[in-house]
Amino acid sequence: MAESDSQVRSRDGAAENGDAPLPLDRRAIVLVGLMGAGKTTVGRRLAHRLGLDFVDADAEIEKAAGESIPEIFKLRGEKVFREGERRVISRLLDDGPQVLATGGGAFMDPETRAEITNKGVSVWLKADIDVLMKRVSKRGNRPLLKTADPRATMEKLMGERYPVYAGADITVESREGPHEAVVDAIVAALDEYREAKA
């Protein structure tokens, strides 16, 4: 039996009723932003709120490759990683409504960005340097931060990537504090975006 728009089976198990309508022609909601912006943590909560599947693109890339992302970077290089990332995200976007968290470099790839524009609604989780560094310091599996000065590397990435992330459909500030506040802001922004496109 087909599921209604307000009842979508979560990847974790039973179907749930979302408290918001599925947005924008049954497109995926695609979270973009730098590492530490909260794409996974906020994404899970957003998916739960909307009654959608949550999908982590990095986890799907690892599954497809049979290797961790640090291993792919070390053994095959960033170019090979980006090629695999492009293929996986394109495939995931064909699955329709979901909350899809992408890696920090995904939206920088012109082909991937075009796919997201065509098949999804992009949401940039924008965070300042102090928030990002506080969050990424809790995890040691960030290949791009394996440098002598991780903060300087992050600042360089911000300079390169923020102008591109600014092309996302929606921008939401990801600050310190309850993740639910960021979820509330995304839901409100999606409503505004939907109304503007109606």
Residue 180 has pLDDT above 50, yes or no: yes
Instruction: Report residue 1's pLDDT band, with 50, 70 and 90 as the boundaries.
Output: very low
pLDDT value, residue 192 = 92
Residue 158 has pLDDT above 80, yes or no: yes
> Over the chain, what is the mean pLDDT?
84
pLDDT value, residue 140 = 59
**16-25, 94-103, 122-131, 143-152, range with the lowest pLDDT:** 16-25
Are the C-beta atoms of 21 and 37 separated by less than 8 Å?
A: no
Please write the tens of the pLDDT for every residue from 12-66: 333 344 444 444 677 999 999 998 899 999 999 999 999 999 999 999 999 999 9
**7-11, 93-97, 106-110, 120-124, range with the lowest pLDDT:** 7-11
Q: Which residue has the tokens 């940039």?
A: 124
In degrees, rounded to 5, the angle at the alpha carbon of residue 83 between the alpha carbons of residues 78 and 85 is 90
**107-121, 127-141, 172-186, range with the lowest pLDDT:** 127-141
| Gap between the Cα atoms of 182 and 10, Å rounded | 21
Domains belonging to the chain, first-starting first, are 25-191 (3.40.50.300)
| Gap between the Cα atoms of 123 and 147, Å rounded | 29
pLDDT value, residue 148 = 72
